[in-house]
Amino acid sequence: MAYRKSVAAALVAATFLGGAAYAADQAVKPAAMQETPAQKAIDQDVGKLSKDGAQAFRDMHMARIAIFDADPAQAKSLIGKAQSALAKAKTDDAVFTKAEADLKTPADMAASKDTNAAQPGATNTASKDMNAAGKVAWVPVDAQMTLGEDFVATPEKASAVNEANKSLAKGDQKGAIETLKLAHVDVNFVMAVLPLDKTTADVNQAATLIGQGKYYEANAALKTAEDGMRFDVIDAVGLPQKAAAHTAAAKPAPQGHAGATDGKAAK
């Protein structure tokens, strides 16, 4: 059904999503104490998409199309815009630092669609080898919220999805999350990010090559920049509900309910 598809994507105010699901031993703790790193990130409303970063990514891609269409003037104009947008993105509070090994590659994401194994915190071995210890500055350029594979459209859940779409249309990511959580809708979040310094270097190189009339090489440099995209994924079903936290703060959460939620988050 359509509900299985993306609830919303691209250029909406998004929350930085990272962290782990509940541990099994949290099932007997008060819900108010069950705060994961992901919950903290959402509560702080950090890591929104970078408008300048997103614009730079579009300009980069359009510059490649202009090169393909043998329109060097347009390519030069677009690459200049991409450079300006990336320069602005460097001061954007949406930029965050994280080890590349903690993110997923496009190949990882494609494979996870077949294996249903795109879990938060999964490690990209190749990236880990290249960047085991260092952290990289990433600029978020796109985000997507998708429903879990086991979603069944009941009237309540369908209504929650519709309300979440309305919240996302207004840029209210936190409101969308809360609406879906209260309806017990399994949600995944995916944020597309680019390495800021590496992307800037690739775009600057492409601009130089375009200025020299080396369009094939410029296109290759821009492709390298696009291929640097990585993805941050979280299963939001692991986030505690605020409503439950208020009612259960003084007593342990029921074993059966918490266990079912935790098991689902830890797939």
Scored b (16 or more CB within 10 A) or e, 14-47 reads bbbbbbbbbeeebbeeebbebebebbebbeeeeb
Residue that wins the pLDDT comparison between 4 and 101: 101
What digits encode the pLDDT tens for the residues 111-128? 876 655 445 444 444 444
Given a cut of 50, whether residue 31 has pLDDT beyond it is: no
According to the model, what pLDDT value does residue 141 have?
93
Residue 149: pLDDT band (50, 70, 90) is confident
Domain 2-265 is in which class?
mainly alpha
pTM of the model: 0.62
According to the model, what pLDDT value does residue 26 have?
31
Range 72-96 average pLDDT: 96
Distance CA 100, CA 130 (A): 8
Mean pLDDT of the residues in the chain: 72
52: closest CA among 23, 85, 22, 10? 85
| In the chain, % of residues over pLDDT 70 | 61
According to the model, what pLDDT value does residue 236 have?
63
Given a cut of 90, whether residue 147 has pLDDT beyond it is: no
Range 14-37 average pLDDT: 34
Max distance between CA atoms of the chain, in angstroms, equals 70
With tokens 């029921």, the residue in question is 254
Structure tokens at 103: 């993110």
Distance CA 113, CA 231 (A): 14
Residue that wins the pLDDT comparison between 167 and 171: 167
Task: Name which of 66-70, 132-136, 178-182, 223-227 the model is least confident about.
Answer: 132-136
